[in-house]
Amino acid sequence: MGWIAENVESIKSMKIRDTLSQLITLGMIVSMALIIWKALMCLTGSESPVVVVLSGSMEPAFKRGDILFLHMSEAPFRAGEIVVYNVEGEPIPIVHRVVEVHEQENTGKVDILTKGDANHADDRGLYAYGQYWLKPQQIMGRAVGFVPYAGWVTIVMTEKPIIKYMLIGALGLLVITSKD
């Protein structure tokens, strides 16, 4: 607890100008993170250019905690591609492999069926009620790369919110109390 008391004393002894400078620095760090995220969205064409695999349904290709990089292009979807898609009414996107694509030649309408590599059945049970195929509009992007296990930080902070709040608080204190 001595570390916290020292930081509190450090904050109390800071001048208003120093405090404002530190708060502006913190704001610039947050702003830069948002700018980088928006730039990635523009470059990849995906609303979420980076996602974390949250389940083991894609093993052995991807394990829980892997970070995937997504890209959305105009190229047609093909069986074998790994895609990330949204299901209506569900907040968390799903990472699965395309197993079937039906293209109607006369209308150009495309229907897509997906399945997790480790799952026994296709994803029709995961889709919205009465929906048997995905539409291309539901797909957020195609997996184009990954970093193994790097997403565990996100999983731990989601499953144990107290760790997230402690980390954010500690980082905030470090930024506010730094002397440079």
Cα separation, 177 vs 179, whole angstroms? 6
Catalytic residue among 96, 111, 120, 178: 96
Catalytic residue among 10, 57, 71, 73: 57
State the pairing for strand pair 94-103/82-85: antiparallel
80 within 8 A of 97, measured Cβ to Cβ: yes
71 part of the active site: no
96 part of the active site: yes
State both tokens at 89: 């009414």
Closest CA to 71 of 150, 135, 138, 145: 145
Catalytic residue among 10, 31, 55, 123: 123
- Dihedral sign from CA coordinates of 54, 56, 58, 63: positive
Helices and strands: H and E segment counts in the chain: 4, 6
Cα separation, 164 vs 153, whole angstroms? 9
Coil, helix or strand at residue 98:
strand
57 part of the active site: yes
Cα separation, 99 vs 157, whole angstroms? 33
Catalytic residues: 57, 96, 123
